[in-house]
Chain A
Amino acid sequence: DAGVIQSPRHEVTEMGQEVTLRCKPISGHNSLFWYRQTMMRGLELLIYFNNNVPIDDSGMPEDRFSAKMPNASFSTLKIQPSEPRDSAVYFCASHDKGYSNQPQHFGDGTRLSIL
């Protein structure tokens, strides 16, 4: 059974460029989460979706960040324009909302470097 799939694994780009991160959740999971991890701040929840609908985006740092989930098998996190302080590892995780108290499953992450 395939896990959460994220792409790209690594992204290096210059500041000001648009960055799009992609995530395919585990089939059948109806909750999807985007996290950012840095040494200074640890793991931070950016936004999460239930049944493709954004529920809580209070963790999104600023308007430069946006996330979409057009269908149950795909989500994107976009940064436009990107800045060096956005450099971090971005994780996507999914969960089956029908099974409360069960853990989230994480993808391998996208390591983003903004020069």
Chain B
Amino acid sequence: QKEVEQNSGPLSVPEGAIASLNCTYSDRGSQSFFWYRQYSGKSPELIMSIYSNGDKEDGRFTAQLNKASQYVSLLIRDSQPSDSATYLCVVGEAGNMLTFGGGTRLMVKP
């Protein structure tokens, strides 16, 4: 059974701080990794994808991947109240299937 583990939170950070979201996965052969954001009552939307070890930056978001440790993280710089949502760590599997983590609820307090 392939698993993706996340702390459910809530993770509470003050506005302007860095939010750090972490995730571990069980399948060492996994090759693609995504972070989806889901606002309450809405559908998941893709915000970052990463495929190789290291960091990938996109605006205020940085995804980090360490395949040896089977660890993925998402950093959100200058956190805003509008970043408050549940963040889903997602691992791509063979056959275009995705394995979803349970999500971490982020709360950014003004």
Interface, chain A (partner B; CB < 8 A): 31, 33, 42-43, 45, 48, 50, 55-56, 91, 95, 97, 100-109
In whole angstroms, what is the CA distance A102 to B42 when docked? 21
- Evaluate contact between B51 and A101: CB separation under 8 angstroms: yes
- Our count of residue pairs bridging A and B at CB distance below 8 angstroms stands at 47
What are the residues of chain B within 8 A of A101 when measuring CB–CB?
Answer: 31-32, 49, 51, 92
Tell me if B95 and A55 are in contact (CB < 8 A). yes
Q: Are B42 and A108 in contact (CB under 8 A)?
A: yes
Chain B nearest CB from A56 CB (Å) reads 7
Q: Which residues of B contact A105 (CB under 8 A)?
A: 46
Partner of A95, one of B44, B88, B96: B96
In the bound complex, residues from chain B placing their C-beta under 8 Å from that of A43 are 44, 88, 100
Q: Chain A residue with minimal CB distance to B95? A: A55
Complex A-B, nearest 7 residue pairs according to Cβ-Cβ distance, in ascending order? A106-B43, A101-B32, A43-B100, A103-B46, A42-B102, A31-B96, A109-B43
| Residue total for B at the interface (Cβ-Cβ under 8 A) | 22
Q: Are B42 and A56 interface neighbours, CB within 8 A? A: no
Question: Which of B51, B98, B102 has the most chain A CB atoms closer than 10 A to its own CB?
Answer: B98
Taking the closest CB of chain A, its distance from the CB of B27, in whole angstroms, is: 15
Check A97 against B103 for contact (C-beta < 8 Å): no
Q: In the complex, which residue of chain A has the Cβ closest to the Cβ of B32?
A: A101
Contacts of B31 in A (CB 8 A): 101
Smallest beta-carbon distance A25→chain B, Å = 13
Question: Of A31, A42, A48, which one neighbours B103 at CB under 8 angstroms?
Answer: A42
